[in-house]
Chains A and B, each alone.
Chain A
Amino acid sequence: MSDFLLDLSSNKRARATIQRLGLPIPMPESLRRGRGALVERPLHDAKVLVAGPVSGELHGVIAGTVARAGAEFGAIESAQEVAAYAEAGEAYGRPVKALPLEPTAKGRYRALVFDASTLDTAEELRALYDVVHFWIRSLDKSGRLVILGRPVSEATDVRQAGARGALEGFVRSCAKELGRKGSNATLIRVAKGAEDRVEPLLRFLLSPESAYISGQPFDLTATVKAPSAPIPRTRVLDGKAILLTGAARGIGKATAKRLAAEGAKLLLLDRPADGELLAEVANGLDGAEIVLADVTDPEAPTLIAEAARKHFGGLDGVVHNAGVTRDKTIGKMKPALWDMTLDINLAAINRINETLLDGVLRDESRIVLLSSIAGIGGNVGQTNYAASKSGVIGVTQALAPLLAKRGIAVNAIAPGFIETRLTAAIPVATREVARRLANLSQGGLPVDIAEMAVFLLSPGAFGLTGSVHRVCGGNLMGA
């Protein structure tokens, strides 16, 4: 199932010819992705632009994050007056380069980070326009634009609410413009009191691992009880026992690999029919254990709980990845197709969660559920699938507040079009359209979902809970 246009686009001569002939063929950019394990300095020697009014409240966390990620600072205009950048630069041997508002030289910057936390009126938004207007073309391919702001719900007056709300539309549009360069734009809305939770998320959004996240807002809150130990930057799942369902192929298989690379001890589950495939996956991983069961089996939750207790004494994370499609327009859908889809994709998740939350899942655990952009936007022939996947969102939103005091975060991932066996089954015309109607003009890879799972399972994700996070390359469906 390779992407023909992606292959064509990476051929320099083909690309040049198409562009010269002015053919209206989208040329998706090959994305810079992670190397299979998180590294200490993902932005080593990269140049990052920092900007924002001096009054910005988040410059400090931005400075620390960017410095620790190994990057060089280019501070635009008023950001130069912010001591935090000079201090971070001095501490890490990255002297800050002062840049004028209008660039004088051609530069290739990995990212542009803007602290918009104190833009309080429509007039003040002009500061954002100024910087991005001049510097967006200086972003490298597979670059990042990250804007940090505050939540609309916390605004103290209507004007401030308006300015805060504006950031989302701005970011979504920038993401659409940046897509053709393989670059992304994202927004982090930092609730008051959640400033110390910014670093891991900002670092993730600036790293190659977030290649397929485009145009998304993230709401950072201080709801979840903070982890007791210092937050690691590499081998982030060291020693964590994690249950992963549907691990035999596709997204599950890629996720298993990534989780193990971050030090996780895995409990892998799939149907007995896929036992051999699952064994293959498990054999390649250190310390991975298997449970062969159908998630809908009434005994499954107990089997899982017993296996978890036996091998690991408990669990530190769950990824509900097992899922099926049984497409048919609702008028023609037989009951079996409905029942199966709802049972596997939604009911089973609840049964398993209930059992695990009764003494298996430890405090400070992480629960990750797989939703889908079809769940958000709907699809012809997928009433059952979309119902189950949007049901998953409901579960996420309801479960999160119940577990926050235990330090457990609950999040959902909504994959866009990911190149797997599931999507290869889609008729070619529909598939092609589904791929292209995204900012990045291409499908994602299973590893893109795996990277999001790694982040959401890590201690550093303690600022996110109860939310759905699209990893869709800016797909139009349900956006």
Chain B
Amino acid sequence: MALAATIVVDGLIYASWLFVVALGLTLVFGVLQILNIAHGSLYAVGAYAAASAVGLFASLGFAPVFSLLAMLLAAMAVALILGPILERGLLRLFYGRGEVVLLLVTYALFLILEDAVKLIWGVNPYYVSEPYQLFGNVAIGPLFYVGYDFALVVLAILCGAAVWFGLNRTAVGKIVLAVIHNHEMSASMGVNVNRVHWMAFTFGVFLAALGGAFTAPMISVQPGISVSVIIVSFAVVIIGGLGSVEGAAIGAVTVGLARAAAVHLLPEAELFSIYLVMAAVLIFRPEGLFQRAAARKI
């Protein structure tokens, strides 16, 4: 029983930041039809930027509480700088070339960003310790958890609720949904599709960077974190169905629980378990859990 509780708690904590990252991935796919391999690199950039920003705030003499603000600002800065540059300057050139070509473009971008990150921040790990103790410890049964981990769960719920509300209850969201549904028709109805594209991409970058920034205190920020994130978030969005917010949530929880169960019961199968779940879901629901079957084209 205690073991089951541990697995659930660990799984939810893992699912929380994963959901934030995967939400960005699934939104970008929904609007731009791009499965962005470089999303993991953007996560890494967010984590590094947060490490720098928290260090900067600490050296300026702000109280540790402000490190949360520093991380948020870092994620915003990454999104506002990289989002428009990458979408307008690069991805735009390849629209209409098919999903696979765009996948390879983002793969090239991933390779470029990997080295760019090393050039900017070096190869030594960064540790962001200031925010981690802000929320104290929480006791669940005999085990103690760091409060920060639960703050992440709250952050994930906030992000999910905000995105759901924004998409379904605001005018801007309706426009975005219209573009997801049909680019050409939206354009002919007077929607500035190009603007929706770069804004959606920038928001996707923001979510990736936000995930990276707020996990930075839990991990050592070093080269290689982007790869592990991208393969797991791929699994999440595929399980949930590409382009679906609810799907990303269910997918993240599924992956989080599967991984936590594997870590506690069969540690050898950690990575294996995630992809096994993904393969199992695809075998029974070929388009993911939350995807409606597409009309067949003749």
Task: Tell whether A and B belong to one assembly.
Answer: no
- A residues near B, CB below 8 A? none
User: Chain B residues in contact with chain A, CB under 8 A?
Assistant: none
